[in-house]
Chain A
Amino acid sequence: MKRFTDLLSELDSETSVNAKTASLVRYFGEAGDADALWAIALFSGRRPKRTVSASLLRAWAAEASELPLWLFEECYHVVGDLAETIAAVLPSPLQQEEISLETAMDLLREMAGRSEEERKEKILGIWQNIPSDQRFTFNKLLTGGFRMGVSEKLIVKALARHTGLEENLISHRLMGNWDPYTSRLADLLFSENENDHISRPYPFYLAYALEETEQEPGPLHEWQIEYKWDGIRGQIIRRQGHTFIWTRGEELVNDKYPELMQMAENLPDGTVLDGEIVAFRDGRVLPFQQLQKRIGRKNVSKKMLGDIPVAYIAYDQLEHQHTDIREMSLEQRRQRLEGTVRDIAPLSAHILLSEITEVNRWEDLKVLRENCREIQAEGLMLKWKAGSYKTGRKRGEWWKWKLDPMQADAVMIYAQSGHGRRANLYTDLTFAVWDGDRLVPFAKAYSGLTDAELKTVDAFIKQNTIEKFGPVRSVKAEMVFEIAFEGISYSPRHKSGIAVRFPRIVRIRYDKKASEANTLEDLRKLIS
């Protein structure tokens, strides 16, 4: 674990993307395939289930360090991270044994079948025998949650440099739910046999925002114009008789949308669709808040299915008759998509074809956009008909033209408790956007959430506090919120250099990772 520990501390101290990438490349080169694979798995959230509960770890750590439990808890409160707290309070190790990351992960797996006594003995033994700086790493493996400012994109970049493979090939091969215990790095990265990976989605092509001030991107007849629906971006995969529904947040959501699973059974084998999951009833798309009720639930009840049915608005097809058709033009893909949806629509009410609107003049497009609010659309999509399906956010061929007000996806980084009725709740939240690799606060907001949502956020804050200073807590940069505001201007007084007017919370973006929040540059572009 020494090499991995060094990597963590490098990633911790480096702020530039280049330096982080370089650290990862060095690690992949030096760590060996097994440990490299584990690093990829851990950074991308593919960690094995916890085998020891946090409360047991606390009790054992307090015992091993001869501290009363309350004092340990107090330490934990100040540190805000269990793994770090334990590492900080344990007495000096007796030995300096070196175990590999792979060995440590195997140990954790073996733990699952053991009795509590056996698990305790094992873990206390490891704490006693490994160098103190590696205890933090080991505890992180135990408690999970490797948030080291390493995005999937960064891993892909580093792996591309390490292997010489293309980035989009790697990001494709790393997607899906592969198991680090049974996978091998070489198989994962170099296997041409797609059968092993029927669940694997394609990386999403993401649109750039088209500002109102921007020039018409070309003759309008070259563009496919659709509504941008307010739902969850999702990819539906039908391969070898199995269905997989992936969100953009790389979450497999099969369990959450049984009606879509049923619908997909009718899809021909070897089909992959791209579209939007929306709450849909009586021929209308429902507000996102409705859909959110389903997102929040672990199990979808019968009542929920009846109250808030969902539909899939398909707008692209990526795989047709077992063939990757992303290189085809949008026009050609659209033809395939229309055929696919036409064949299946009579069998299920839960799939719709994204409507194409013919508009000839830019002014008409503006009118169309103004009407979006009424039909619960977020705005318009403009897609270049001759373009292929790209990977990630690429400028030029897919534009989203959202409605006002201006909004941004931002990460919550500080929270302050409210007043009066809400004195015990953390309701005053500070939101940040990315400036390079750093999060800079840009808005404070306290309205827009329901009481139930406030409670969820409050619980998150209390569990993810990094530090407390007076009534303010800094929290782990994890939760993404959509923040709307009325105006934006430059402001030298603010750390971010910008000031927004009347910021408010539109919703919690459970589907987004912190790394996907907007950047300061995005916000600057909003300033006219």
Chain B
Amino acid sequence: MRSLLEVNDIGLYCPQADVYIDPWRRAERALITHAHSDHARQGHGLYMAHKHSEGILKHRLGNIRLENVEYGQKIYMNGVEISFHPAGHILGSAQVRLEYKGEVVVVSGDYKITPDGVSAPFEPVKCHTFITESTFGLPIYDWKPDRTEFDALQRWWKHNAEEGICSVVFGYSLGKAQRILRNLDLTQGPVYAHGAIIEIHKAMAHTGIEFPECLPVDKSIPKENFRKALVIAPPAADTENWLRQFVPFKTAVCSGWMALRGTRRRQNAHKGFAISDHADWKGLLYAIESSEAGNILITHGYSDTLARYLREKGMQAEVLNTLYTGDAANENTEADETVH
């Protein structure tokens, strides 16, 4: 019997349904787990994604053929039952469940376990085969509670503001920026956002989910206005040229990689806050365990390590090579969505 899911040159493929999941090359039909650019690429014939991804997908990919799906809604393709389930990664992110003749496969996409107040919280889905990411698949990645890190970020901003120094915080414009806005006490001072983030918010307006308004950064704004301000920007904006307008300023980076001192230092930022949209080690183990899957396939991240660990625990686990990034080898290219 053919397996329900396989990997070929184009991507993760379900032959029975003739559909790809997050394909990295042009495909006729693509199920999209979420709108980050390493998962939702250009050029597919038909996209199917959770309805909250629509705005971002169209914003990023232009006028694509897109079918919106609700969480839990069942779609049938040549006898394969397909459904999307919350992955808790970013707004509209989903795990994709495929069932055929009693066999169930779940593709996690990117996910995190703890609710972030923005995206629908992760729901474990029982299956026979669980295909999981492993971006932070080492025990050293052990996230502190969100509150702890956001409180620290708030204190950092407050401290800077008291000294009349602008606080510039870098985080991905899709996901991290919204969490920052949701979790900080914004009455503390003016909040500015890089144009890319403002665009993202416009693109998300259709979801009905609202984010606190932030002022757009503009070259014409007098420096004085930034003295007590928080400026949120995507990592790509971290250039001397762009930062110049905020002098004097301090920078911080919000990313899971910031859990390590070495990475914090290499970032050249003053502060690092380990806030991630991916599951930490315990989160990965939790998702794997609650899937009750007998077969675990591990994609992008510390896949070898996690696979070996699971095998030693008596589980059937293997590495599945994909072209999704968020790879540990290039620490800081956490699947960003560049907005053009």
Contacts from A to B (Cβ < 8 Å): 12-15, 65, 67-68, 70-72, 74-75, 78-81, 84-85, 88-89, 438, 466-467, 469-470, 474
Chain B, range 230-280, C-beta contacts under 8 Å to A: 259-266, 268, 270-271
Distance (Å) between the CB of B286 and the closest chain A CB?
Answer: 15
Q: Does B314 contact A (CB under 8 A)?
A: no
B139 touching A88 by the CB < 8 A rule?
yes
B265: which A residues are within 8 A, CB to CB? 12, 466
A71 touching B329 by the CB < 8 A rule?
no
A81 touching B139 by the CB < 8 A rule?
no
B317-340 Cβ-contact flags toward A at 8 Å (1 or 0): 000000000001111000000000
Other-chain residue from A12, A438, A469, A470 in contact with B261 (beta carbon distance below 8 A): A12
B140 touching A89 by the CB < 8 A rule?
yes
Other-chain residue from B139, B270, B328 in contact with A65 (beta carbon distance below 8 A): B139
Distance (Å) between the CB of A233 and the closest chain B CB?
Answer: 31
B271 touching A467 by the CB < 8 A rule?
no
Q: A12-B264, A13-B270, A466-B262 are in contact. Are A79 and B329 (CB under 8 A)?
A: no
CA distance A466 to B305 in the complex (A): 19
Q: 24 pairs across A/B with beta carbons < 8 Å?
A: A12-B261, A13-B264, A13-B270, A15-B270, A67-B139, A68-B312, A71-B309, A74-B305, A78-B138, A78-B140, A80-B262, A81-B262, A84-B260, A84-B261, A88-B139, A88-B142, A89-B139, A89-B140, A466-B262, A466-B265, A467-B263, A469-B330, A469-B331, A470-B329
B271: which A residues are within 8 A, CB to CB? 13
B141: which A residues are within 8 A, CB to CB? 88
CA distance A470 to B328 in the complex (A): 10
CB-nearest residue of chain B relative to A62? B139
CA distance A74 to B270 in the complex (A): 28
B138: which A residues are within 8 A, CB to CB? 71, 74-75, 78
Other-chain residue from A13, A74, A470, A474 in contact with B262 (beta carbon distance below 8 A): A474
A88 touching B140 by the CB < 8 A rule?
yes
B140 touching A467 by the CB < 8 A rule?
no
- With A14-B270, A68-B312 known, 7 other A-B pairs at CB within 8 A are A13-B271, A15-B270, A75-B138, A78-B138, A88-B142, A467-B260, A467-B266
- Of B142, B262, B330, chain A has the most CB atoms within 10 Å of the CB of B262
CB-nearest residue of chain A relative to B271? A13
CA distance A474 to B329 in the complex (A): 13
A474: which B residues are within 8 A, CB to CB? 262, 266
Q: A71-B309, A467-B263, A474-B266 are in contact. Are A79 and B331 (CB under 8 A)?
A: no
CA distance A469 to B331 in the complex (A): 8
CB-nearest residue of chain A relative to B259? A88
A74: which B residues are within 8 A, CB to CB? 138, 305
CA distance A414 to B114 in the complex (A): 36
A467: which B residues are within 8 A, CB to CB? 260, 262-263, 266, 331
Which 4 pairs between the two chains have the least Cβ-Cβ distance?
A88-B140, A466-B262, A89-B139, A75-B140
A79 touching B140 by the CB < 8 A rule?
yes
B298-309 Cβ-contact flags toward A at 8 Å (1 or 0): 000000010011
Distance (Å) between the CB of B325 and the closest chain A CB?
Answer: 14
CB-nearest residue of chain B relative to A87? B140
Distance (Å) between the CB of B158 and the closest chain A CB?
Answer: 15
CB-nearest residue of chain B relative to A14? B270
CB-nearest residue of chain A relative to B309? A71
Distance (Å) between the CB of B155 and the closest chain A CB?
Answer: 12
Distance (Å) between the CB of A406 and the closest chain B CB?
Answer: 27
Q: A469-B331, A474-B262 are in contact. Are A75 and B312 (CB under 8 A)?
A: no
B140: which A residues are within 8 A, CB to CB? 75, 78-79, 85, 88-89
CA distance A413 to B258 in the complex (A): 20
CA distance A106 to B1 in the complex (A): 68
Distance (Å) between the CB of B312 and the closest chain A CB?
Answer: 6
A14: which B residues are within 8 A, CB to CB? 270
A75 touching B139 by the CB < 8 A rule?
yes
Distance (Å) between the CB of B169 and the closest chain A CB?
Answer: 13
A15: which B residues are within 8 A, CB to CB? 270
